[in-house]
Structure 1
């Protein structure tokens, strides 16, 4: 296994890269650079990166997929006064946005801005108690007019990325950053293929970095990647929702930072394959790897599209839990990232032809 410092450096590089849906280029470049030494690479027509690691047999084909895109925004229009109205990309809760910094990526380079709204001093008392709606927010980049903003290179459709620098907290095992949903999964995919490079495995593994997960109601990169790979087993490597914070009950979220990867029992897009889920749990217990079960009825992952590919693909969701996803600063535990890598490497070694056939017909 690589060191925790190496894992943190890889995660920092991935998290710092800008990559809202439809503009994942910088993330893909990082993934390509790290995966090229250990796998054969190709790219589908939407931009998902597909890394193939050949084992002892072409099949079964094991798909390990993480999405590159992060929640962000798109410039909708420029006001005559030079402010930017924006379209959210992905699921944002308005209360986490006001006064947060963002970066507008224009054809002439990045421009820093801040999300603003009408000051509370100008609101009547009853209005101050209400959350500000996204439609009433804007981005202030310091331009004095629409013409000046346009001269700086801003135009409708430009991607806007949260500004949330990667930081190791006072406990260095905890990291804070934007985009950990799902650059954590991207880091895990890289590390798993690196670990497999030094071993034999009874299958072919595809590490895929998908596009458009945060906005795709019809599949996006998950659907095109499944078509390109035609997997026999699929794992969506995505963050769970950590519930170890004030106000969250175990019935809402059970996962805790530092207690291993989360294995989802249910999300809004699918019920994971029961026999594959049991194999994951049995593998973790046999290898002494801590893990957690949880549910995510208010969210979905790429696995919801993988499991209905072709005649059906056994699929499951595994990943480190994270606090404060879909914000400018999420928190994950590096030990959970490493244990997710350990679990997936051990799982891959168990997925031979007979085992996969048993998953399908057992």
Structure 2
């Protein structure tokens, strides 16, 4: 199947944590035809499909930010020093082409390091660190570079999504524009079906990769009755992944439903029941103490919000070649839409 246009628009928008305006706008524009859209002061976007029967409100939450780079220094020769926004394996950055977002628009650059021919023996034996790298935008000197780029400008690795066989897609920012796409698609399915008993709120939150800030402020302000966080997890059919440690979630096995200490048991059980009833393939995952997702912030907001987590099997996380299978993504949206439509107004979340 072709890459959906909405997902393409999300993946090609530049938006590291704290700088999510472009992908947030893409999300808002996609939801506007069927939902009431609002953006808060943090930059998080909600798209509300009104309920039809006074039921419980369900928020479907993906995070709209991606990992990136931020410029910290510009030297006299015009090279840009940077640090990571979010978690990077610096080895991935070596030799990459990047897009630097500036006040005048996006400008291209490349990540450079000392060539292997010039490395001393001890340097060859260790992996590159971010401090060993720089961005080269082709400036002739520091003055020219500083006229184009300011300290605090951000960059992402350059590259369009690639469509592979078996309905598989490789791209940067699948973590977690996928979650936002699932939120959009689930809400769209609900709206197309005439609504759910309660409001369904597709949500794109900011700054998950650094602080969970968007999830914290969204949950406090909107206070949904139930929240389903959608994020990615490691596909366990990739080389080097130990299923004993990470569970069994190969690509094509469907959405991953989380069970665990911070996940509300009623929510997880109803997701499982819904998947079984709808004939949607899924796998289970277990967590204790925390999930590493926005669910960690949402479930303890105010006096507590019953929260679930649905994840998508993904290879090569936090790289420019993250890889997923589209039917896993679409089935996650179908599962959550059916969950929202089947959530009775009198459902009890008492433990």
Unmatched segments (≥5 aa) in structure 2: none
| C-alpha contact 1:243 1:252 (8 A) present in aligned 2 | no
Post-superposition shift, 1:164?
2.5
Of 337, 340, 348, which aligns to 1:345? 337
1:223 aligns with 2:212: no
Of 220, 234, 239, which aligns to 1:241? 234
Q: Which residue does 2:306 correspond to in 1?
A: 314
Q: Which residue does 1:109 correspond to in 2?
A: 105
Q: Which residue does 1:289 correspond to in 2?
A: 280
| C-alpha contact 1:104 1:158 (8 A) present in aligned 2 | yes
1:189 aligns with 2:180: no
Q: Distance in 2 between matches of 1:10 and 1:197?
A: 17
Of 317, 335, 360, which aligns to 2:327? 335
Q: Distance in 2 between matches of 1:339 and 1:116?
A: 41
| C-alpha contact 1:19 1:69 (8 A) present in aligned 2 | yes
Alignment length, in residue pairs? 348
Q: Which residue does 1:204 correspond to in 2?
A: 199
Post-superposition shift, 1:294?
2.5
1:361 aligns with 2:346: no
Post-superposition shift, 1:198?
2.3
| C-alpha contact 1:260 1:289 (8 A) present in aligned 2 | yes
Q: Distance in 2 between matches of 1:277 and 1:96?
A: 36
Unmatched segments (≥5 aa) in structure 1: none
SS of 1:251's equivalent in the other structure is helix
| C-alpha contact 1:15 1:180 (8 A) present in aligned 2 | yes
CA deviation map 1:221-275 (0-9, x unaligned)? 1011112211111111111111211111112332111110112335xxx631122
Label 1:148 to 1:325 Cα distance change in 2 as closer, same or farther (>3 A): same
Q: Which residue does 1:176 correspond to in 2?
A: 170
Q: Distance in 2 between matches of 1:58 and 1:222?
A: 25
Label 1:294 to 1:95 Cα distance change in 2 as closer, same or farther (>3 A): farther
TM-score (norm 1): 0.92
Considering only aligned residues, what root-mean-square deviation do their CA atoms show, in Å? Answer: 1.7
Label 1:185 to 1:255 Cα distance change in 2 as closer, same or farther (>3 A): same
Q: Which residue does 2:61 correspond to in 1?
A: 65
Map of 1:34-73 to 2, 5 A cutoff?
A: 34-73=30-69
Post-superposition shift, 1:296?
6.7
CA deviation map 1:310-344 (0-9, x unaligned)? 21111111132111111111001001011101110
Label 1:59 to 1:227 Cα distance change in 2 as closer, same or farther (>3 A): farther
Q: Structure 1 stretch 130-139 or stretch 294-303: which is displaced more? A: 294-303
Of 155, 158, 165, which aligns to 1:160? 155
SS of 2:245's equivalent in the other structure is coil
Q: Distance in 2 between matches of 1:307 and 1:265?
A: 14
Q: Distance in 2 between matches of 1:240 and 1:124?
A: 38
TM-score (norm 2): 0.95
CA deviation map 1:131-150 (0-9, x unaligned)? 11112211111112110112
Post-superposition shift, 1:9?
2.4
SS of 1:196's equivalent in the other structure is helix
| C-alpha contact 2:14 2:156 (8 A) present in aligned 1 | yes
Label 1:226 to 1:299 Cα distance change in 2 as closer, same or farther (>3 A): closer
Q: Distance in 2 between matches of 1:88 and 1:24?
A: 16
Post-superposition shift, 1:96?
1.3
Of 272, 278, 300, which aligns to 2:269? 278
SS of 1:324's equivalent in the other structure is coil
Label 1:183 to 1:354 Cα distance change in 2 as closer, same or farther (>3 A): same
